[in-house]
Amino acid sequence: MSDLDTDVAPPRATPIVAPAARRRPIGLMLTGLVAASAVLWSDHLIRARQDLVSTIVAKNTPIFMPFSEVMSTKVEKKTTFNRLYDRLYQTRPAPDHTAFIKTSYELGDFINHELGEADPRRQAIMLDVVAVAGDQRMAADAYWALFLPDWQTKLQPQYPQYAAALTKIARDENNKGGNGILVQLAGVLRERNQPTLELQALRALHETAPVTVATAPAMERLRDVLPPQDPERVKLETDIAAYQARRDQLAASMTWYQEFATKQSKLPSAQLLTLRQTAPKGDLNAFTAAADAALINAYVKDGRLKDAMDLRAQLAQYDASDFEDSMMLATEASTAATPTAKGKSP
């Protein structure tokens, strides 16, 4: 055995092991994926919304995307607004302003309903209407709109112009509604605390209109605001007194006619004529004219054709100027005679 031999076992080699890889938690990885997906989806929604807004503003690209009911309604209203606005400026240069005025009122009504009556865009449209139409009848509704209380601070300096235009429209209307325009104008000016303009409107009414059930409150207002020695007030007091006497005569005729109407179909012409002669004295009115019409029918039924023709010729002279007052009295009497629900038995 050589010196190199030994009884000790040779040492074992130590294996070299690579360090173990670090394990990442699964939850953290999922969280990262979710966050990244959320960022990408949010970016997609923002871009889609921007594209939608651009499409709506452009007004020239059909929209086929599905919307919620709220979004769909908003888009529909925006489309309606744009359509009316486009039509407004397409029709404005035309020599005939009818289509422009019609579209202006449609757009004004749309703004009033959707955005509010005091919206400045509605005011601009009404101002454009009066600028185009002036004192034509088609501009009347625009003038009324411009008296809106919310706009008074800005538009009050133009009130004399608006009142003058409406007065001109009323005079052009004559008896077809002009008196009603002046009555309404005086009332609006009183509400807006414009005493000078109100007085002008009331004077214009007194120049052309009689004192009737429709004009009596305005005439009484004019009497109250005129100075005591004003010649117009003296005349107005006479007119109001005559109206009151006429109204009293109508009331008496109405009461008489209520009895006449219950008997007119039961009596022969001779007895009906006797009853007709008991009517209250005074000019022919709606109630006595109705009685004459019933008497004419009775004459024809009894073969008294000449009497029927003569009475018919007299009835043709009735001008029906009191018809409105007569109808008002009949309506008041009918309302007063109708029992209320409170007084009825269950």
Domain limits at 89? Answer: 67-146
Examine the fold and report which residue of 114, 146, 178 is the final residue of a domain before the chain moves on.
146
**Which range has the worst mean pLDDT, 47-61, 90-104, 203-217, 264-278?**
47-61
- The segment with the largest mean pLDDT, out of 71-80, 208-217, 329-338, is 208-217
56 in a structural domain: no
What average pLDDT does the segment 13-42 reach?
Answer: 54
210 in a structural domain: no
Examine the fold and report which residue of 95, 129, 146 is the final residue of a domain before the chain moves on.
146
Confidence of residue 186 (pLDDT cuts 50, 70, 90): very high
Residue 61 has pLDDT above 60, yes or no: no
- For residue 200, give the nearest of 164, 236, 230 by alpha carbon: 164
Query: C-alpha distances in angstroms, 129 versus 103, 152, 245?
Result: 10, 18, 45
47 in a structural domain: no
For the segment 294-320, what is each residue's pLDDT rounded down to a tens digit? 999 999 999 999 999 999 999 888 887
Residue 10 has pLDDT above 80, yes or no: no
For residues 21 and 229, the model is more confident at 229
38 in a structural domain: no
Residue 129 has pLDDT above 90, yes or no: yes
Q: Phi/psi at 94 (nearest 5 deg)?
A: -65, 145
112 in a structural domain: yes
Q: What is the pLDDT of residue 339?
A: 60
140 in a structural domain: yes
Question: What's the structural domain count of the chain?
Answer: 2
Examine the fold and report which residue of 119, 146, 173 is the final residue of a domain before the chain moves on.
146
107 in a structural domain: yes
Q: Hey, what are 13's tokens?
A: 């080699």
Residue 292 has pLDDT above 80, yes or no: yes
Query: C-alpha distances in angstroms, 219 versus 19, 65, 175, 249?
Result: 111, 63, 17, 20
Contact 178, 187 (CB under 8 A): no
Q: What is the pLDDT of residue 341?
A: 44
323 in a structural domain: yes
**Number of residues that this document lists for the chain:** 346
For the segment 230-257, what is each residue's pLDDT rounded down to a tens digit? 899 999 999 999 999 988 998 999 999 9
CB count in 10 Å sphere of residue 212: 17
- For residue 201, give the nearest of 235, 244, 233, 171 by alpha carbon: 171
